[in-house]
Structures are given as structure tokens and as C-alpha cells.
């Protein structure tokens, strides 16, 4: 199975909300997503799609791409119309002055553990760079060790806590932030991590789709 990432559109909201319902206890409305998507200067959302075969090259290059970011479409292809491919994950990032804030990352339950969350995180880093962010931040549940390990891998470090941040159970949020993401040191780290991720995704391309791939049923 092949996985690739592209910018979210309003047509994607229904599938995104299905994954959201399976992932989080507090949900965003469709109108909230529409508002976010209509503010691309400060808000970017992306989706990951699954395909049994490599998608053909995409001719639409309106999304800005530089350097390392170009590796994803080179490896897995881009396509003008991709709505026939199911959405298996999504993520978003906001810009506040020079700080990119990752608002959400979620993967459909049947597709977890296949590197899709990491692929989404890489695309959000690219989107933050495209919006001229210098650093990245996020909040994650203190109990979500799996997510924390991924963020630590990509240079996020704990910088504080938000007490009782999550309204469903009053759990604290761990605040995590990166070093400057434009620095040569971070860009080299990113290059090395992407090489390993792409090797993993090449292996995933030879694996069948999950048996339970019905997608019905934030970083937290």
C-alpha cells in the first residue's frame, strides 16, 4: 500500500471528521474546518491518502516545495485528482508570528503503526517552513507516550505543562518545542530522519491494505 500527502480541501472534511471521531473525544465542527482552510496564510491542513498502486505524477505544483520536501512527491507521486483514494490520516499547523503550532495529527485506527503519522508530521514541518515559521510547538497528553516519542525523534523537547488542559478528563498537556527549524543542524537531522522514513514507506508499499479498512468507525 502506498501513502501520500496533499493539502486538505473542503471536500475532505467528511472523511477527516470520521477519523477524528475515532481518535478524539472532543470534536471540531465542519464550519471550524472550513474557516481554517480558508485562511492559508496562517493555517494549513493536510491529508494522507492510501493507494494500492503508485499514484501518477501530479501536474499541479501550486503548493510551494523546497529542498527536502520534494522527496515525498518524488517517491510516492502526486496526482491532479485524488479523491478516489481514501483519506487515512490528517494534520494541521497554525502560524503565530514566527512560531508554527501543530494543532492536530490523527491516523485512522486500521492504518496506525505504518509510518503515516510520521509522514504527516514531515508535511506539517514543510508547511510551517512555507509559512516562514522559525520554530514549532505543540501540546500532547502527558499519557500519550507513543506520540511523545515521535516528537522527541523530530527534535521537540518538553518546555512546560498546561494543567488540566484536556476538558474530557482534566489531563495535563505537555508543551513541546523545537530548536530553530531552519538551522543547518535541524535540516541535517530532518534529512537523515526522512531517509529512514522513506525506506520504511518503501517496505510498506509491498504490504497489503489492513483487513479492517472501513474508515468510519488532535494530537492528544
Catalytic positions, please?
A: 139, 151
DSSP-derived 3-state class of residue 141: strand
CB 200 within 8 A of CB 190: no
**Which of the 8 DSSP states describes residue 59?**
-
The whole-angstrom separation of Cα 119 and Cα 196 is 11
Quote the distance between the C-alpha of residue 39 and its chain's center: 18
Q: Which 3 state secondary structure label does DSSP give 213?
A: coil
Residue 66 corresponds to which cell in the numbers above? 523546497
> Cα-Cα-Cα-Cα dihedral of 190, 196, 198, 203, to 10°?
-170
Q: What is the DSSP letter of 108?
A: -
Beta-sheet strand order (sheet of 173-177): 2-7, 43-51, 87-96, 99-107, 135-141, 173-177, 157-162
Asked if 73 and 65 touch (Cβ cutoff 8 Å), the reply is yes
Give the whole-angstrom CA distance, residue 103 versus residue 149: 17
Residue count (the chain): 220
Amino acid at each position: 500500500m502506498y501513502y501520500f500527502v496533499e493539502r486538505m480541501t473542503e471536500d475532505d472534511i467528511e472523511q477527516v471528521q470520521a477519523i477524528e471521531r475515532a481518535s478524539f473525544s472532543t470534536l471540531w465542527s465542519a464550519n471550524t474546518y472550513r474557516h481554517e482552510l480558508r485562511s492559508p496564510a496562517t493555517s494549513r491542513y493536510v491529508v494522507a491518502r492510501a493507494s494500492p498502486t503508485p499514484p501518477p505524477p501530479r501536474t499541479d505544483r501550486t503548493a510551494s516545495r523546497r529542498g527536502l520536501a520534494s522527496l515525498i512527491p518524488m517517491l510516492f507521486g502526486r496526482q491532479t485528482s485524488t479523491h478516489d483514494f481514501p483519506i487515512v490520516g490528517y494534520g494541521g499547523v497554525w502560524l503565530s508570528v514566527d512560531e508554527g503550532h501543530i494543532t492536530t495529527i490523527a491516523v485512522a485506527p486500521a492504518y496506525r503503526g505504518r509510518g503515516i503519522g510520521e509522514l504527516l508530521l514531515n508535511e506539517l514541518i514543510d508547511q510551517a517552513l512555507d509559512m516562514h515559521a522559525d520554530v514549532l510547538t505543540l501540546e500532547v497528553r502527558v499519557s500519550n507516550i507513543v506520540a511523545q516519542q515521535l516528537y522527541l525523534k523530530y527534535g521537540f523537547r518538553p518546555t512546560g505543562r498546561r494543567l488540566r488542559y484536556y476538558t474530557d478528563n482534566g489531563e495535563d498537556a505537555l508543551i513541546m518545542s523545537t530548536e530553530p527549524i531552519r538551522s543547518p543542524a535541524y535540516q541535517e537531522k530532518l534529512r537523515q530522519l526522512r531517509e529512514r522514513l522513506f525506506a520504511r514507506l518503501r517496505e510498506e508499499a509491498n504490504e497489503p491494505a489492513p483487513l479492517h479498512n472501513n474508515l468510519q468507525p488532535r494530537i492528544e
